């Protein structure tokens, strides 16, 4: 399983892409494979403040509900509304169209605690 080297990660299997003053967040290939068919995604509202390490939404497979954990303390700048109607995108393109929220990097905290690809790969035994 390949872990993209240009992203940062959390131990709870979220990825973070830092670009253009935002941190885009999704779940990893490993996480989607563990979950199986994603059938429902619940996301926060734009403007909500997320807390690093705290649950900010859920992703549900046929069988189970899993919390999404925020990698940063930051404000939500955008959410991926397309996932509301087509949640299976999380399975098909977890690092691309399956993104979940974009956080505003202005005033964000917790960036230093994120894992790099090698550390995350070690975590999942890759």
Partner 1 sequence: MKRTPLHQAHVALGARMIEFGGWEMPVWYAGIQAEHHAVRQRAGLFDVSHMGEFIVHEADSTAFLRRVLTNDAALLEVGQAHYSLLTNAAGGTVDDLLVYRLPAGKKGGAVYLLVVNAGNIDKDLAWLRSQVGPGERVKIDDRSPSTALIALQGPRSALILSELTAMDVWHMPYYHFARGEVAGVQALVSRTGYTGEDGFEVMAANEDITAVWNAALKAGAAHEIQPCGLGSRDSLRIEACMPLYGHELGDDISALEAGLGFFVKLDKPAMNGLERLRRERLEGPARKMVCLELLDRGIPRQGYPILAGGQPVGEVTSGLLSPTLDKAVGMGFVPVAHAALGTELAVDIRGRAVPARVVKRPFYKRAEG
Residue with Cβ nearer partner 1 (21 or 92)? 92
With tokens 């994120």, the residue in question is 114
Residue with Cβ nearer partner 1 (10 or 61)? 61
With tokens 């734009």, the residue in question is 46
Query: What is the number of other CB atoms lying within 10 angstroms of the CB of residue 58?
Result: 13
* Residue 82 touching partner 1 (CB under 8 A): no
* Residue 61 touching partner 1 (CB under 8 A): yes
Residue 40 CB, nearest distance to partner 1 (Å)?
Answer: 5
Binding residue (CB under 8 A) for partner 1 from 6, 19, 40, 119: 40
Residue with Cβ nearer partner 1 (10 or 91)? 91
Give the helix/strand (H/E) hosting 106: strand 101-109
Residue 114 CB, nearest distance to partner 1 (Å)?
Answer: 26
Helical residues (DSSP H) of 1-126, grouped into ranges: 29-35, 82-85, 89-92, 117-123
Per DSSP, the three-state class of 14 is strand
- Which of the stretches 22-30, 53-61, 68-76, 108-116 binds partner 1 when contact is defined by CB under 8 A? 53-61
Residue with Cβ nearer partner 1 (41 or 115)? 41
């Amino acid at each position: 399983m390949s872990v993209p080297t240009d992203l940062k990660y959390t131990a709870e299997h979220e990825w973070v892409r830092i670009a253009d003053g935002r941190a885009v967040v999704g779940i990893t290939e490993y996480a989607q494979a563990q979950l199986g068919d994603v059938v429902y995604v619940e996301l926060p509202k734009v403007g909500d403040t997320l807390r690093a390490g705290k649950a900010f939404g859920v992703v549900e497979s046929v069988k189970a509900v899993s919390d999404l954990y925020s990698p940063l303390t930051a404000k939500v700048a955008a959410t991926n509304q397309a996932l509301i109607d087509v949640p299976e995108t999380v399975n098909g393109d977890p690092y691309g169209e399956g993104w979940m929220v974009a956080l505003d990097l202005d005033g964000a905290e917790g960036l230093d605690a994120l894992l790099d690809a090698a550390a995350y790969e070690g975590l999942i035994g890759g």
